[in-house]
Amino acid sequence: MRGGGGEHHYVALDGLRGIAALLVVVTHISTRTELQDLFRIYGLGQVGVMLFFALSGFLMMHVTNGRSCRYHLRNFLVRRISRVFPLYAFVVVLAFCTSFVLVDGRSLSVFGIRGFGDVVEHLALLKGNGVLWTISIEIFFYFLFPLFWWAKDKSWAHFYVLLISVFVIQQMAYFVGGWGEMDLAFLGIIPRGHMFLLGMAVYPLVGLITEKHVVFDVLFVLSIILVALNLEDVSGALFGYSIYIWKNPVVLVLLCVILALCVSVKKVGVILDNRASVFIGKISYSLYLMHIFILQVLKWYTDWEVDDRLLYWAACLVLSLAVSCLTYRFIERPFRSALNSRFCTPYQTAPV
C-alpha cells in the first residue's frame, strides 16, 4: 500500500487487475486454438470480467471515501470518463479503419465495426460488439454511482439500504432473463450490475482488517481453487452440476472474498504486489482492448493458429503486451492527463 496526497493506493489491486486482464487474454487465445476443452478454462475470461466490474465498484468507493458528492461529483465523472473513453473511442475508430484492409479479398474486420453507423452506435454506448460490451456497462455505472455516493454521504445505513434494495431489484430483473439479447449495450448493467454492487459492499470490510496474517493467505488460495472448481465445465465433470458462472452464488461470494483479502495477504501477496503484476495492471485496460486486434491479425496473416499453437500463444501474448504498452503510453495516459487538467477543478488534482 502506497500513501501520498492524503490518500492511499492499494498496489495489490493493480496486480489483481492485471491478472484479470490476463485471464481474458488467455481465454481468447485458447478459444481460437481450440485448447479450452483440453485445459477446461472456459469461463476464466468471464471470471476476469467479473473481477473488473467488482474492482470498479470497490475503487469507486475508495476514491470517494471522505469526499462529498455535492462538491466532488464533477471531478469524479471527469476522471472516470477520461480514464476509459479516450482509448475506447480510439479502439472503435481503429476497428472501423481495419474494415478497409483486405486480405485475400476479405475485410480484416475487428469487432464487426464496418460502417459509420456502427462507429456512432458504439461511441454512444448503444452497441458493444466483442469485449466492447463491457465498456458500455462500465461507463453507464459511472453515472449510476453518484446515487450510492449521495446515500453514503448521508450515512452507512442509507448506503446499505439503497445497495440491498438495488441488488434485490437487479436480481429479480436478472432472473427474468432476456436482457442479454437487448440491443442497447449499456442495458447490460441489468444482468451484470451485481458485480459492481458486490465490489462496493466489500470495501468497508477491508478497513476492518488491521494486519496481515498467514490465515488470509490460506483463505485467498482456497478461494481461487474453489472458483476454478466451480467453472461450468470443471464442476460438471467432477461434481455433476454446472451453474452459469454469473449466477453461481458460490463464485460470487468467493470473488468477494478474493477482492477483500487481496490487500491483506502476507506471503501470497508477492503474486499481486510485484513489478510485473503491477505493470500489467497499469496497462490492463489497453491489454483488454488491444489483444483482439493482435489475435485477428495473426489469424489472417499466419497459419500458426492451427499449425503451431505454441508459437501462436507466445506471439499473441508478447505482441499484445507490446502494443498495449504503446497505447497506454501514447493514447491512454496522455489523453487522461489532458482531460483531467482541462476539466477538473483545482481542489482534486491528485491522480485517481
pLDDT of res. 4: 38
Of 10-19, 269-278, 298-307, the range with the lowest mean pLDDT is: 298-307
Phi, psi of 8 (to 5 degrees): -115, 160
Average model confidence (pLDDT) for the chain? 89
pLDDT of res. 300: 85
16 vs 262: CA distance, rounded Å: 8
Does pLDDT of 5 surpass 50? no
Please report, rounded to a whole number, the percentage of residues in the chain having pLDDT higher than 70.
Answer: 92
Does pLDDT of 1 surpass 80? no
Of 10-14, 77-81, 287-291, the range with the lowest mean pLDDT is: 10-14
Amino acid code (one letter) for 330 = F
pLDDT of res. 308: 79
pLDDT of res. 2: 45
Residue range 175-201: mean pLDDT, rounded: 83
Cell 507490446 belongs to 322
Residue range 122-129: mean pLDDT, rounded: 94
pTM: 0.93
Confidence label for 350 from pLDDT (cuts 50, 70 and 90): very low
Residue range 111-123: mean pLDDT, rounded: 94
Does pLDDT of 225 surpass 70? yes
pLDDT of res. 352: 42
Burial of residue 103 (number of CB atoms within 10 Å: 0-12, 13-18, 19+): exposed
298 vs 312: CA distance, rounded Å: 8
